[in-house]
Amino acid sequence: MKKVNVGLIGFGTIGSGVVKVLQERKSLLKDLTGVDIELKYVCDKDLSSDRGVRVGRRLLITDVDKILKDPDIDIVVELIGGIHPAKEIILSALKKGKDVVTANKALLAREGDIIFDSAGKFKREVRFEASVGGGIPIIKALREGLVSNKISEIYGIINGTCNYILSRMSDERCDYKVALKAAQKMGVAEADPKLDVSGADSAHKLILLAGLSFGVFAKPEQVYCEGILDIEPRDIAYAKEMGYAIKLLAITKRSRGEIELRVHPTLVPDWHLLADVKGVYNAIYVKGDLVGETLFYGEGAGKFPTASAVVSDIVDLAGCHARGSGHPVMDSCFPPSGTSRRNDIVLKIKKIGDIKTKYYIRFSALDKPGVLAKISGILGKNDISIANVTQKEERVAGAAPVVVMTHEATESKMRNALRLIDRLPAIKRKSVAIRIESLLGGPAK
């Protein structure tokens, strides 16, 4: 039987999950694949902490070079996270002819062009199933399962921390800070939650999803990104009254040679499956021209869901190694920087100002005659057409919340209108604007 040697770097939460699975499921995986996957090294700076998994002493090392320089190592699993030295380790592994498995979305989103270029150059593979959606096999679905589709839209709930906080704010009508504290207590938010709640983590993952779907590998600064810090329980409640849930969505769409890349809180109709994705769960809604609407749902993080994804990558690569061949689809996964491998069309990234969506807007207006006329006048002058207006009975610091739902409007015009409206003497606080996605399915064909 063919044997494939694995060197794992980063013996933290996910690393220990992967070690446990590779050890305990060794014979199961051998039965299923006909390949003997041998974990040869487990490398970490800290070898003394208890990870709840038994590892033979001879496997444990602190020197990463031992893995990189060992010609018997076929697959390097990078689970240390962060940019450095993860990047250098991956580039060195590829150069030495080893395939790489990683869960490092931040690195791939920032330096993916260099990494995938290098993989192509050395004819090696970089697999990253665990980088998006935890255990959900969404990367495999896009790469292989939907290979013949032209993808038109992806809407993802791909940050469990944000979804947990928003779910909790919705269920308990508590504010962001209370929900964040609860999330931290539950271990679903970091002590410093910035990367998650700012939307940056979702943006990193979105870059990978869009790259697979459209062959365009964007940089983090090209993704428009708004986090969940400004969401108030009031907005969640008003949205609910009108039949919507507020979710942090990562959105990419393709139309007329351009792609949209944006992460922001979004009103989602409550009849849509995405509205029902609660707590730390993730879901990725994908629309392809052949397959139509699909949705992939599961735990977006956590030790074992993530280990499940990492091991599926190891198994795929192990099979390729044992047989001396790569997987047919997109071996190096991404094309040289910027160009679209799906080269039927040249795509560029749409400016956020040009994007059109419907909007939920909440104004804090003094309850005086004529205010609504002024607001709607400014909206009208900016080509923003109103679908619905509700003045709430509630009074907040002397002002009445006025909720306006608009038809589709251009982002730049909306920003201009809000700037002018917020200058009106009758407007007491900065207005709140949240985009709406109708998600009105219909055939993709």
Question: Which residues are annotated as catalytic?
Answer: 205
Task: Give the shortest CB-208-to-a second copy separation in angstroms.
Answer: 16
122 contacts a second copy (rule: CB under 8 A): no
Among the listed residues 53, 59, 229, 291, the single contact to a second copy using CB under 8 A: 291
Among the listed residues 66, 240, 327, 428, the single contact to a second copy using CB under 8 A: 327
Which parts of 37-159 fold into alpha helices (H)? 64-68, 86-95, 105-121, 138-140
Among the listed residues 296, 359, 360, 363, the single contact to a second copy using CB under 8 A: 296
186 contacts a second copy (rule: CB under 8 A): no
Residues whose CB falls within 8 Å of the CB of residue 336, separated by 6 or more in sequence, listed in order:
113, 117, 120
> Residue 213 corresponds to which amino acid?
S
Chain centroid, CA 416 distance in Å: 30
140 contacts a second copy (rule: CB under 8 A): yes
Task: Give the shortest CB-375-to-a second copy separation in angstroms.
Answer: 36
Q: Which stretch binds a second copy (CB under 8 A): 57-65, 142-150, 231-239, 364-372?
A: 142-150
Q: In angstroms, rounded to a whole number, what is the distance separating the alpha carbons of residues 30 and 284?
A: 31
Kindly state the number of chain residues that form the binding site for a second copy, as judged by CB under 8 A.
69
Is 81 or 326 the residue whose CB approaches a second copy more closely?
A: 326
305 contacts a second copy (rule: CB under 8 A): yes
DSSP letters, 279-311, are: TTEEEEEEEETTTEEEEEEEE-SSHHHHHHHHH
Among the listed residues 44, 74, 111, 129, the single contact to a second copy using CB under 8 A: 129
CB-CB contact of 277 with 157 (8 Å): yes
Task: Give the shortest CB-438-to-a second copy separation in angstroms.
Answer: 17
Structure tokens at 254: 């393709």
Structure tokens at 332: 């190096």
Task: Give the shortest CB-412-to-a second copy separation in angstroms.
Answer: 34
Place of tokens 């996964």: 333
CB-CB contact of 332 with 126 (8 Å): yes
Chain centroid, CA 169 distance in Å: 21
Structure tokens at 341: 């491998």
Please give the angle made by the CA atoms of 124, 126 and 127, to the nearest 5 degrees.
Answer: 135
- CA distances 252 to 210, 216, 261, 326, 415, Å, are 6, 11, 5, 29, 21
Tell me the per-residue interface mask from 258 to 287 with a second copy, x by CB under 8 A, - otherwise.
-------------x-x--xx---x------
Q: In angstroms, rounded to a whole number, what is the distance separating the alpha carbons of residues 6 and 40?
A: 6
Is 370 or 443 the residue whose CB approaches a second copy more closely?
A: 443
Q: Residue 440 — φ and ψ, nearest 5°?
A: -75, 80
Is 77 or 427 the residue whose CB approaches a second copy more closely?
A: 77
Is 129 or 260 the residue whose CB approaches a second copy more closely?
A: 129
Q: Which of residues 12-31 bind a second copy (CB under 8 A)?
A: 17, 21, 25, 27-29, 31
Is 90 or 283 the residue whose CB approaches a second copy more closely?
A: 283
346 contacts a second copy (rule: CB under 8 A): no
Residues whose CB falls within 8 Å of the CB of residue 141, separated by 6 or more in sequence, listed in order:
286, 294, 296
Nearest to 275 by CA among 384, 166, 434: 166
Q: Which stretch binds a second copy (CB under 8 A): 32-40, 51-59, 224-232, 245-253?
A: 32-40
Task: Give the shortest CB-262-to-a second copy separation in angstroms.
Answer: 23
Task: Give the shortest CB-270-to-a second copy separation in angstroms.
Answer: 10
125 contacts a second copy (rule: CB under 8 A): no
Is 7 or 134 the residue whose CB approaches a second copy more closely?
A: 134
232 contacts a second copy (rule: CB under 8 A): no
DSSP helix/strand/coil, 248:
strand
Q: In angstroms, rounded to a whole number, what is the distance separating the alpha carbons of residues 332 and 339?
A: 14
Chain centroid, CA 280 distance in Å: 13
Among the listed residues 316, 352, 402, 427, the single contact to a second copy using CB under 8 A: 316
Is 31 or 192 the residue whose CB approaches a second copy more closely?
A: 31
Binding site for a second copy (CB under 8 A): 17, 21, 25, 27-29, 31-35, 129, 134-137, 140-141, 144-149, 271, 273, 276-277, 281, 288-299, 302, 304-305, 307-309, 311-312, 315-316, 318-320, 322-331, 341-344, 445
